[in-house]
Amino acid sequence: MIYLHEFRNRRAARVLLDRIADTVQDRPVRFMEVCGGHTMAIWRYGLPELLGKNVTLLSGPGCPVCVTPNSFLDRAIALSRRPDVTIVTFGDLMRVPGSSSDLQTERARGSDIRPVYSSIDALEVACRYSDRIVIFLGVGFETTAPTIAATINNAQTEGLKNFRILSALKTMPQALRALVAGGEIALDGLILPGHVSAITGSSVFDFLSLDFGLPCVVSGFEPLDLLQSILMLGQQVSQARAQVEIQYSRTSKMEGNLRARQIMDQVFAPADAEWRGLGVIPGSGLSLRPEYAAFDAFSIPVKIEPTRENPGCRCGEVIRGAIRPEDCRLFGQTCKPEHPIGACMVSEEGSCAAHYKYRTVDHEIKS
């Protein structure tokens, strides 16, 4: 794909790197990306090393699997042990450790747990096995919420009585407000998620600049996208201004996707939600509206074990950008992708997994 290669051009990358160096030469800056896709790309292409000492990149709460708390996983595991239940889930969630087990282990023990690629696949399972309660584990941000909402709408239209959703869907603006307002880390700017913004529009993040004076740029996912976004942030800092700008203009708009937002708002309502590493954030989750209550798996009675965290895992601090993955004593020792102790080591979008996988590779755009 020649068009894709244009976003990985070494000569263009060098030009951008030189411009970034000139822009931040008088002041070191700290920028945070809040999308797992950005985290993976940043480390895959070796951007921290290429950018030099004046630009520090931190990873925030942008991996949906990583921020899903143990309390949700423990409920899903308990539901999977019911003989009348089939659990359907995105594959990454299978290996995320709960308090004492994970879905992959429960599947090996005989529970009916099926990984799928989309919520539509889950609906097909419910149609095929009408004698079972089919529960889809709804995990993600605004990017996946519209498709899950459309699936639930289809289930209602088709009159499916055995389909349920266990929602761990979350919305990004409230989490970023909590993160920035907490003041735990000093930031000079934010690299905002391109796919989330494609749904929500960039205007939902205006408060970051207006209330907190933070420069923000909605970025694409290729190395030149990210370098251009970092340059745009550096220019805002050097000019002492704070705006929400869009670098990813080929996909993201200020108003977002109105149809996607409509179906999401039709099915879901804002709700308080628990985030790993951030606690309960008011209004940061999505729960089913009353007219769709028949599809809510939270109403299914089940006994859940007391939730606990691995005392050695520092995934919550990694999610907040308070520490780097290498600062956790488990990283690369007992916690590896083949045997993850924490959620951040499971998904490719997790900070720990990205650091571990790409720390010793030859990066594609490095000259």
Q: Computed over its alpha carbons, how large is the radius of gyration of the chain?
A: 21
What pLDDT score does 367 carry?
40
Residues 337 and 210 in one domain: no
User: Once rounded to an integer, what is the mean pLDDT over residues 75-80?
Assistant: 98
Residue 2 has pLDDT above 80, yes or no: no
Which residue from 152, 195, 361, 168 is spatially nearest to 280, judged by alpha carbons?
168
20-36 pLDDT, tens digit each: 999 998 889 999 999 99
Residue 365 has pLDDT above 90, yes or no: no
Q: Give the confidence band of 7 by pLDDT, cuts at 50, 70, 90.
A: confident
Report yes or no on 366 lying in a domain: no
Report yes or no on 227 lying in a domain: yes
Q: Is residue 106 within 8 Å of 153, Cβ to Cβ?
A: no
Report yes or no on 215 lying in a domain: yes
Report yes or no on 363 lying in a domain: no
> Measured between alpha carbons, how far is 16 from 28 in angstroms, rounded to an integer?
17
Residue 115 bridge partners (DSSP): 89
Residue 362 has pLDDT above 60, yes or no: no
Q: Give the confidence band of 214 by pLDDT, cuts at 50, 70, 90.
A: very high
User: Once rounded to an integer, what is the mean pLDDT over residues 271-281?
Assistant: 97
Task: Look at 4 and 127; give whichever has higher pLDDT.
Answer: 127
What pLDDT score does 189 carry?
98
Residues 1 and 17 in one domain: yes
Count of all residues that appear for the chain in the document = 367
Give, in order, the Cα–Cα distances in Å from 241 to each of 33, 136, 180, 188, 214: 19, 44, 18, 11, 8
> Measured between alpha carbons, how far is 353 from 336 in angstroms, rounded to an integer?
8
Report yes or no on 365 lying in a domain: no
Residue 336 has pLDDT above 90, yes or no: yes
Count of domains forming the chain = 2
Residues 6+ apart with CB under 8 A from 110: none
163-183 pLDDT, tens digit each: 999 999 999 999 999 999 999
Report yes or no on 364 lying in a domain: no
Residues 102 and 159 in one domain: yes
Q: How many CB atoms lie within 10 A of CB 230?
A: 29
Q: Give the confidence band of 71 by pLDDT, cuts at 50, 70, 90.
A: very high
Report yes or no on 367 lying in a domain: no
Residue 81 dihedral angles phi and psi, to the nearest 5°? -85, -10
What pLDDT score does 57 carry?
96
Residues 305 and 323 in one domain: no
User: Once rounded to an integer, what is the mean pLDDT over residues 121-150?
Assistant: 96
> Measured between alpha carbons, how far is 156 from 165 in angstroms, rounded to an integer?
12
Residue 157 sits in which domain range?
1-314
Angle (CA) 344-346-351 rounded to 5° is: 35
Residue carrying the six token digits 């200020």: 254
What pLDDT score does 128 carry?
95
Which residue from 138, 130, 124 is spatially nearest to 75, judged by alpha carbons?
138
Report yes or no on 342 lying in a domain: yes
Residue carrying the six token digits 């996909």: 251
Residue 313 has pLDDT above 80, yes or no: yes
> Measured between alpha carbons, how far is 349 from 39 in angstroms, rounded to an integer?
6
Residues 183 and 274 in one domain: yes
Residue 350 has pLDDT above 50, yes or no: yes
Residues 190 and 309 in one domain: yes
Residues 297 and 328 in one domain: no
Q: Helices 351-358 and 36-44, interaxial angle, to 10°? A: 10
Residue 139 is part of a domain; what is its CATH number? Answer: 3.40.50.11740
Which residue from 216, 219, 145, 144 is spatially nearest to 180, judged by alpha carbons?
216
- Report CA dihedral (34, 179, 30, 252) to the nearest 10 degrees: 30
Q: Is residue 344 within 8 Å of 321, Cβ to Cβ?
A: no
Task: Look at 19 and 10; give whichever has higher pLDDT.
Answer: 19
Q: Is residue 294 within 8 Å of 179, Cβ to Cβ?
A: no
Residue 226 has pLDDT above 70, yes or no: yes
Residues 255 and 274 in one domain: yes
> Measured between alpha carbons, how far is 337 from 344 in angstroms, rounded to an integer?
9
Residues 135 and 120 in one domain: yes
Residues 352 and 246 in one domain: no
What pLDDT score does 3 carry?
59
Residue 363 has pLDDT above 70, yes or no: no
Q: Give the confidence band of 366 by pLDDT, cuts at 50, 70, 90.
A: very low
Residues 40 and 124 in one domain: yes
User: Once rounded to an integer, what is the mean pLDDT over residues 132-155?
Assistant: 97
Residues 91 and 114 in one domain: yes
Residue 254 has pLDDT above 60, yes or no: yes
Q: Give the confidence band of 307 by pLDDT, cuts at 50, 70, 90.
A: very high
Average pLDDT, the chain: 94
